[in-house]
């Protein structure tokens, strides 16, 4: 895509960055629609590859950045009112790239920068604190093999022990070691994290995770001895299907966008 030195698309950014902003703002709005938000807390982020991120130079011209940048929510904006233009751009150290009067949550960026920095395909990262997912994160056995949703996710699930509010950058190495190449990280006593190569993939994994956790909490209302676990042979039979969630995400995303445009329009402004 060609750029004029003085007139980058949508002011200070490429059309690829604008698309990433719209997808990310859509994720925030969808999280709110599904009841996954937590006031202004928790975070969803997106990576912008260096070749797609244009920044203003001291001489007033625009040029591609030399390092990857990341988009994340500023403090003070609820998920259900997030717009593409609200999102702030930071570097891998969490420093603002654009000169905007905004503040981000440092704990959020500690977690997100760890995943973005370690996994090349982690273009979108969701971190949430829903009641059901947080409840399961506090259960000793974690996500149990009770439902089909759980069986599809367990092969992609890793765990990270709670270390307190994530303000220390040293924790990033332990987050990375714990998640490995898996798509889901259950943050013990805290919440959950999913990532995807696309917004659709990251959202769909989180959707099924929330479903599995909600179903587990409901099933355990009869007590641990009252639930029926799926046997190991069937678990092994279902496990290979866990890699297809990204494909499913591509199927559901158009419908999610229609739902968003009906019920929460304006995310792409």
Q: How does pLDDT run across 62-117, given as a tens digit for each residue?
A: 554 556 788 998 888 999 999 999 998 887 767 777 666 667 766 667 788 889 88
Q: What is residue 113's predicted lDDT score, i.e. its pLDDT?
A: 85
Q: Which are the contacts of 1, defined by CB distance < 8 A and separation ≥ 6?
A: 9, 14, 15, 16
Cα 97 from Cα 268, distance rounded (Å): 21
The pLDDT of 179-199, averaged and rounded, is: 96
Q: What is residue 220's predicted lDDT score, i.e. its pLDDT?
A: 97
pLDDT above 90 (res 57): no
Tokens 């987050």 found at: 175
Q: In this predicted structure, which of 44-53, 61-70, 180-189, 242-251 has the lowest mean pLDDT?
A: 61-70
pLDDT above 50 (res 5): no
pLDDT above 60 (res 233): yes
DSSP string, the chain: ---BTTB-TTTTS-HHHHHHHHHHHHHHHHHHHTT--BTTBSEEEEEE-GGG-EEE-TTS-EEE-SS-EEEEPPTT--GGG--GGG-EEE-TTS-BSS--S----HHHHHHHHHHHHH-TT--EEEEE--HHHHHHHTSTT-S-S-SHHHHHHGGGEEEE---SSS--TTHHHHHHHHHTT-SEEEETTTEEEEEESSHHHHHHHHHHHHHHHHHHHHHGGG-GGG--PPPHHHHHHHGGGGGGHHHHHHHHHHHHHHHHHHHSTTTT-
Q: What is residue 1's predicted lDDT score, i.e. its pLDDT?
A: 34
Q: What is residue 189's predicted lDDT score, i.e. its pLDDT?
A: 97
pLDDT single digits (tens) 243-265 = 887 788 889 999 999 999 999 99
The pLDDT of 116-123, averaged and rounded, is: 90
Q: Which two tokens stand for residue 217?
A: 């909490």
Q: Which two tokens stand for residue 77?
A: 């904006």
């Amino acid at each position: 895509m060609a750029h004029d030195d003085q007139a980058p698309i949508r002011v200070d950014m490429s059309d690829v960055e604008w698309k990433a902003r719209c997808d990310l703002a859509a994720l925030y709005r969808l999280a709110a629609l599904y009841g996954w938000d937590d006031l202004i807390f928790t975070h969803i982020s997106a990576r912008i590859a260096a070749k797609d991120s244009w920044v203003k130079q001291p001489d007033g011209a625009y040029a591609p950045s030399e390092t990857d940048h990341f988009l994340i929510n500023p403090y003070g904006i609820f998920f259900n009112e997030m717009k593409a233009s609200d999102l702030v751009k930071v570097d891998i150290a969490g420093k603002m790239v654009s000169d905007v009067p905004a503040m981000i949550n440092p704990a959020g960026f500690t977690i997100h920068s760890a995943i973005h920095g370690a996994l090349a395909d982690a273009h979108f990262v969701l971190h949430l604190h829903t009641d059901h997912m947080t409840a399961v994160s506090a259960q000793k056995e974690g996500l149990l093999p009770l439902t089909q949703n759980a069986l599809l996710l367990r092969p992609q699930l890793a765990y990270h022990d709670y270390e307190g509010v994530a303000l220390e950058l040293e924790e990033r190495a332990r987050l990375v070691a714990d998640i490995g190449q898996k798509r889901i990280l259950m943050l013990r006593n805290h919440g959950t994290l999913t990532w995807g190569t696309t917004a659709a993939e990251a959202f769909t994994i989180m959707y099924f995770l929330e479903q599995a956790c909600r179903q587990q909490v409901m099933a355990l209302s009869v007590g641990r001895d009252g639930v029926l676990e799926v046997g190991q042979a069937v678990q092994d039979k279902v496990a290979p299907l866990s890699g297809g969630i990204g494909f499913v995400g591509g199927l559901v995303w158009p419908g999610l966008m229609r739902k968003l445009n009906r019920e929460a329009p304006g995310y792409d402004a």
